[in-house]
Chains A and B, each alone.
Chain A
Amino acid sequence: MMAFIKQQAPQEVSEDERTTARDFHGLSAELNSEHATARRWAVRDLVSFPQASEVLVARLKIEEDASVRTAILSSLAQLGDKTAMNGLVTCLRSDEASLRNEAIEVLKAIPDEVGPIINALLNDSDSDVRIFTINILESLRHEHVEQWLMSVIDNDDQVNVCATAVDLLSEVGSELSVQSLMNLKQRFANEPYICFSVDLALKRIQQGEH
C-alpha cells in the first residue's frame, strides 16, 4: 500500500568520487576538476596539508563557482598561515562585492590570526579596505575592538570610515569612547548622520552606566 522505501544500495556519487589519491598532489590536481563537487571536496580535504594555502589562493583567483569559492575561503581561514591570510586580505580589495563580503565573514571568525594585522588594515590607503576592516571587527571576539574603533574615529578623515566605526561603538562602546565620540561630532558637525549616530552611541553608553 505504501510507496515508502528504504535505501537499497549506497547512493551513487558520480562526480566527486574521491578517486584520485587524497595526498597533496592528487588533491592539488583535483582543484582543476571540471566538477564543482569534486573541487569542493578537494578544497576541504586540503585543509590537512599545511602547505596547501598557496594552491588554494591560486585557485581562488580563477574559480568561478560560488560554492567552491566559499569552501576555499573557509579552508584558508582554517589554515590561517601567512599565505592564507594574505589571500583573504587580497579579497577585501576585490571588485566583486560578494567575494569581499565572504572574506569579511570568514575573517571575523579567526581573531587570533586577524588581530595582528588589524592596525595595518585600519591604516590602508584604500578607505574601502578600512571600512571592511571595521566590518570584520563587528563580530571579532578580540579585547582590542573598542581601542581600534576609538583610534579610527580620532584619526580617520573619511566620513564613511568613521560612520562605520560609530555604528559598532553604539554596541561595544564604553565610557572610554565618550570623549572620542564627542570630538568626532565636532569634526563632522555638518554631517547629520554622524550627529545622529554619535548621539545614539552616547545615549547608550550613558544610560548603560547606571
Chain B
Amino acid sequence: MKTILVIDDAATVRMYHRHILESAGYSVDEAINGIEALEKALVKNYDLFIVDINMPKLDGYGFLRQLRSQDIEQAPAIMVSTESAKNDEILAYNAGANLYLIKPTKPDELLRYSRLLLGESI
C-alpha cells in the first residue's frame, strides 16, 4: 500500500485529506509542521507528500528545501496553499514541489493529481 504524508497545521485539513486518500486505498500519516514532517520523512519512506505552505516552526518551503537536500530517495510533493497575490506557486516549484494546488482542494482533483504523481493510471 502506498503511503502519503499529509503536512498541515490545521487538524481539520489533515483529517479531510486523510479521509479522501484513505477512501481511495492509500495509507496516510500526518505531520503538523515542517520539522515534524522532516522527522517522519527521514525515518520512513513515503510515496508522496501533500504540503501546506504556512505552518509554524518550519513552513512548507523550508520543509521541501531541506528534504530535497537530503541524500535519500525522493518522493514527489504536492504543495497546497490559499490563493493570494504572493508568488507562492513559483516559490513552491523552486523549493522542489512537483505540483501546486489551491485550497480548499476538491476530492476528485486531489486524487487525480495524487495518482498522477504516484505514477498510477488516472
**Bound pair (A, B):** yes
Interface positions of A (Cβ within 8 A of B)? 95, 97-98, 100-101, 104-105, 126-128, 131-132, 135, 159-160, 163-164, 166-167, 170-171, 191-194, 196-197, 200-201
- The 10 closest A-B CB pairs, nearest first, are A193-B104, A160-B82, A167-B12, A97-B59, A167-B10, A197-B12, A128-B84, A196-B16, A101-B56, A105-B56
Q: How far is the CA of A97 from the CA of B13 in the complex (A)?
A: 19
Tell me which residues from 73 to 122 in chain B have a Cβ below 8 Å from any Cβ of chain A: 82-87, 103-107
**Identity of the chain B residue whose Cβ is nearest the Cβ of A161 in the assembled complex:** B82
Q: Which residues of B contact A (CB under 8 A)?
A: 9-13, 15-16, 19, 53-62, 82-87, 103-107
**Known A131-B82, A132-B54: A200·B12 in contact at CB below 8 Å:** yes
A111 to B23, CA, bound (A): 41
User: In the complex, are the beta carbons of A160 and B54 less than 8 A apart?
Assistant: no
Smallest Cβ distance from B17 to chain A, in angstroms?
Answer: 9
Complex formed: what's the CA distance from A101 to B53 in Å? 10
- Considering the complex, give the chain A residue whose CB is closest to the CB of B59: A97
Question: Is there contact, CB below 8 Å, between B106 and A160?
Answer: no
> What's the nearest-Cβ distance from chain B to residue A102, in Å?
8
